Amino acid sequence: MHINFTWVKEKAINEIDIFANPENEARLLHIEKQLQQEQELLAIDPKNNRSVKLSLNQILSFETLGHLVKVTLLDQKSYILQKRLKELTALESQNFYRINNSQILNLNCIQSFQLGEHARLEVHTQTASIYVVSRHYAKNIKEKLSCSNN
């Protein structure tokens, strides 16, 4: 299957037109369903050891705990994922980016940023949390933040 993209500035930002052969209808309906489905992660509540579905738009950050990952929500509740941090790099398409060797942050939750000590970037979130972006990841994060502001 060959896909052609045409970018039109006059098009509404929340609208996409797709022109396809009627034989591709089932495929495209399946893709549409996946795009509209809210993505969730299955985590463990450490208080009662029960599985909980977490919506990606509720998540503020991921922090490594060895072979596990601590998930912090916007309401400051914490959950555990039985994954390693490097397994979550696929979430970049959802605007989750690594900010240092032990944390991934939801860039949609950033309120402001400023330079900190030792050329590190300090990121302030909507929840009044402050995260430190290491020098190694700072350039990438600044680019992502400036792209999202345009």
Q: Name the region of 107 (left: φ>0; alpha: ψ -120 to 50; beta: rest).
A: alpha
Helix locations, the chain, DSSP H? 25-36, 135-149
Q: How far apart are CA 83 and CA 38, in angstroms?
A: 20
Q: Do 80 and 103 form a contact (C-beta atoms < 8 A)?
A: no
Neighbouring-strand partners of residue 72: 61, 78
What's the pTM value of the predicted model, to 2 decimals?
Answer: 0.72
Q: Provide the 8-state DSSP code for 14.
A: T
Two structure tokens written together for 118: 């030792």
Digit-coded pLDDT (tens) for 96-110: 999 999 999 999 898
Expressed in angstroms, the distance from the first to the final Cα of the chain is 33
Per-residue pLDDT of the chain (150 residues; tens, 9 = 90+): 777 888 888 888 777 888 889 999 998 888 887 776 668 889 999 999 999 999 998 999 999 998 999 999 999 999 999 999 999 988 888 889 999 999 999 998 988 888 877 767 888 998 899 999 888 888 888 788 776 655
Report the top-level CATH class of 40-149: mainly beta
Q: Are strands 59-65 and 103-106 parallel, antiparallel or unpaired?
A: antiparallel
Q: Do 132 and 116 form a contact (C-beta atoms < 8 A)?
A: yes
Q: How far apart are CA 142 and CA 131, in angstroms?
A: 14
* Domains of the chain by residue range: 40-149
* Number of other residues whose CB lies within 10 A of the CB of residue 10: 4
